[in-house]
């Protein structure tokens, strides 16, 4: 069954090529397609295109399909083109001609736009929760090890004293910036395209404000042409937000792999999070962080993939956009997996409290000595030269103490201030409004 089928049969190879992976990928969208249909037909009844009895029957049948999709039992049958066709077929089998009425005033174009936005909105909520969890784990570790010093590096050369409080805390604050990207992407996503139909609206008196409210959207994509132009743009911008999170994870993973190696010995990963070698019995490899790094780097390429598919298209719908689903829909699961793995290991990571006992790290305290001399009245440039000459002559010695007090330094991590920044961003998502709208829409009584 094809919603556009007429009195001729399409070539089977052409059909295979044009359908592509839609039947497989549309399973991601099934419950969102049903939810969108429930809002749409509720609106159709309000403008007289469905009777109250027809609406009641359709809502009850759609809720049953939604439950199937929630349980993972929804399938797209052989010969059925996509999720929209499957849902309409199931309704028509159960309700006859009434099932054929649900498409009034819409196109598969605005259906898939809506499905993608509802899917993305929901999956972003999951990513936000996982980012928030990793953030709190990093902050906890930052406070736990705030007094444990470690060498800081520039150019991979030992540079100045750092601390595990700073190291863990740096990645926590990085996630605050990533959360800002997620919020911007979420707000763009949280606008209703339903009613734009094929991109030029409908002669039916659709109440688009009503479907916006029923689905818990913040606002509308008002211009129907722009609603269609948003296909690909929304995915690209969300992909940039996912890539921002992935960039933080990739850098964290690289550090962890480096610091776990015997040459550094700064951290020890949990035994259960490492793998062995088939030939070298001593090996404990940081494979999880290596895979997080690789998957995160792959995710950072996602915006470019999407741009290369949609970048040179004029206004209106084109089948090119179908291909975006192949790279976009699975990305949320991949990033969620990386976030969960990173959180698990970071929480259990052990740090080396005695790194700086090794004399090779003594030179990192040179700036501390220069600053102490400058504070006592020696001009900074003279103090710098004096300490430099001591190092060159092999006479440099120090007490390996640091006295940093300014905001964001070793002695003043500003953990609470960073936590407030994160909470301020998270509070702006207003997930509770969406959840209330969705629960009300799905509260159908037979």
Residue by residue, DSSP assigns 309-376 as HHTT--SS--GGGGGHHHHHTTHHHHHHHHHHHHHHHHHH-EE-TTGGGSGGGGGGGHHHHHHHHHHT
The number of helix segments (H) and strand segments (E) in the chain equals 18, 6
pLDDT given at position 4: 42
Looking only at the bridges linking them, the beta strands covering 149-154 and 157-163 are antiparallel
pLDDT given at position 271: 84
Question: Which one, of 360, 418, 366, lies nearest residue 388 by Cα?
Answer: 366
The mean pLDDT value for 439-444 works out to 90
Residue 57 has pLDDT above 70, yes or no: yes
Average confidence score pLDDT of the chain: 93
Query: Active-site residue 277, yes or no?
Result: yes
Q: Hey, what domains does the chain have and what are their CATH numbers?
A: 12-104 (1.10.275.10), 109-148+162-355+414-442 (1.20.200.10), 358-411 (no CATH)
Query: Active-site residue 282, yes or no?
Result: no
| Most confidently modeled range among 23-27, 271-275, 307-311 | 307-311
Given 84, 85, 142, 155, which residue is catalytic? 155
The mean pLDDT value for 373-399 works out to 93
Residue 127 has pLDDT above 50, yes or no: yes
Question: Which one, of 196, 300, 307, lies nearest residue 240 by Cα?
Answer: 300
Given 261, 277, 315, 424, which residue is catalytic? 277
């Amino acid at each position: 069954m094809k919603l556009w089928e007429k009195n001729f049969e399409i070539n089977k190879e052409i059909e295979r090529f044009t359908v592509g992976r839609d039947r497989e990928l549309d399973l991601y969208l099934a419950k969102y397609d049903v939810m969108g249909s429930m809002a749409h037909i509720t609106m159709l009844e309000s403008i007289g295109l469905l009777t109250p009895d027809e609406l009641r029957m359709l809502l009850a049948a759609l809720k049953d399909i939604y439950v199937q999709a929630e349980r993972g039992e929804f399938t797209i049958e052989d010969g059925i083109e996509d999720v929209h066709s499957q849902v309409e077929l199931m309704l028509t089998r159960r309700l006859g001609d009434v099932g054929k009425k649900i498409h009034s005033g819409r196109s598969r174009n605005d259906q898939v736009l809506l499905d993608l936005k509802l899917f993305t909105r929901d999956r972003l909520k999951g990513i936000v929760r996982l980012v928030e969890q990793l953030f709190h784990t990093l902050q906890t570790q930052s406070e736990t090890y705030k007094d444990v010093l470690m060498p800081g590096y520039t150019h991979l050369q030992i540079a100045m004293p750092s601390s595990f409080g700073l190291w863990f805390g740096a990645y926590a604050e990085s996630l605050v910036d990533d959360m800002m990207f997620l919020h911007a992407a979420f707000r763009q996503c949280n606008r209703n395209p339903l009613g734009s139909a094929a991109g030029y609206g409908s002669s039916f008196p659709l109440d688009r404000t009503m479907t916006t409210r029923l689905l818990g959207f913040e606002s509308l994509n008002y211009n129907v042409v722009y609603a269609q132009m948003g296909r690909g743009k929304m995915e690209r911008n969300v992909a940039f937000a996912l890539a921002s999170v992935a960039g933080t994870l990739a850098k964290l993973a690289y550090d962890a792999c480096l610091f776990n190696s015997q040459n550094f010995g700064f951290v020890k990963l949990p035994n259960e999070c490492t793998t062995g070698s088939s030939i070298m019995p001593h090996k404990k490899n940081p494979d999880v962080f290596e895979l997080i790094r690789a998957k995160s780097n792959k995710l950072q390429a996602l915006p470019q993939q999407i741009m290369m598919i949609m970048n040179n298209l004029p206004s209106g719908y084109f089948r090119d956009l179908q291909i975006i689903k192949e790279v976009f829909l699975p990305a949320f699961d991949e990033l969620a997996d990386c976030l969960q793995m990173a959180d698990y290991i970071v929480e259990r990571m052990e740090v080396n409290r005695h790194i700086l006992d090794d004399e090779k790290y003594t030179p990192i305290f040179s700036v501390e000595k220069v600053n102490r001399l400058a504070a006592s009245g020696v001009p900074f440039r003279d103090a710098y030269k004096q300490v430099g000459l001591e190092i060159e002559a092999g006479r440099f010695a120090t007490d390996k103490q640091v006295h940093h007090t300014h905001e964001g330094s070793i002695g003043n991590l500003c953990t609470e201030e960073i936590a407030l920044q994160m909470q301020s961003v998270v509070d702006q998502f207003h997930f509770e409004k969406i959840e209330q709208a969705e629960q009300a829409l799905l509260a159908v009584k037979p």
